[in-house]
Amino acid sequence: MEPKRVVVTGMGAITPLGNDVESFWNGLVEGRNAVGPITRFDTTGYKVKLAAEVKDFDPLKYMDFKTAKRMELFSQFAVAASCEAVTQAGLDMEKEDPYRVGVIVSSGIGSMQATEREHKNLLEGKKVSPFYIPMMISNMASASIAMKFGMKGKNIDIVTACASGSHSIGDAFKTIKFGDADVMLAGGAEAAVCPLGVSGFTSLTALSTNEDPETASRPFDKNRDGFVIGEGSGVVVLEELQHAKARGAKILAEVVGYGATNDAFHITSPAEDGSGAGMAMKIAMKEAGIGPSDVDYINAHGTSTHHNDLFETRAIKFAFGDEAKKVAINSTKSMIGHLLGGAGGVEFIVMVKSIENSYVHVTQGSTESEEELDLDYTFGSGKHMDITYAMSNNLGFGGHNATVIVKKYEE
Q: Which residues are known to be catalytic?
A: 162, 301, 338
Backbone dihedral region for residue 287 (phi beyond 0: left; psi -120 to 50: alpha; all else: beta): alpha
* Contact call for residues 334 and 366 (beta carbons, < 8 A): yes
- The rounded Cα 26 to chain-centroid distance in angstroms is 18
Determine the Cα–Cα distance for residues 285 and 279; give it in Å rounded to an integer.
10
* Contact call for residues 193 and 203 (beta carbons, < 8 A): no
| Beta-ladder partners of 384 | 359
Q: What 8-state DSSP symbol labels residue 59? A: G
Determine the Cα–Cα distance for residues 276 and 280; give it in Å rounded to an integer.
7
What are the residue ranges of helices labelled H in 220-342? 241-246, 275-288, 306-320, 333-336
Using alpha carbons, select from 164, 406, 163, 396 the residue that is nearest to residue 285.
406
* Contact call for residues 52 and 208 (beta carbons, < 8 A): no
Identity of residue 218: R
Q: What CA dihedral angle connects 109, 111, 113 and 117, to 10 degrees?
A: -120
Neighbours of 122 (CB within 10 A): 12
| Beta-ladder partners of 239 | 7, 183
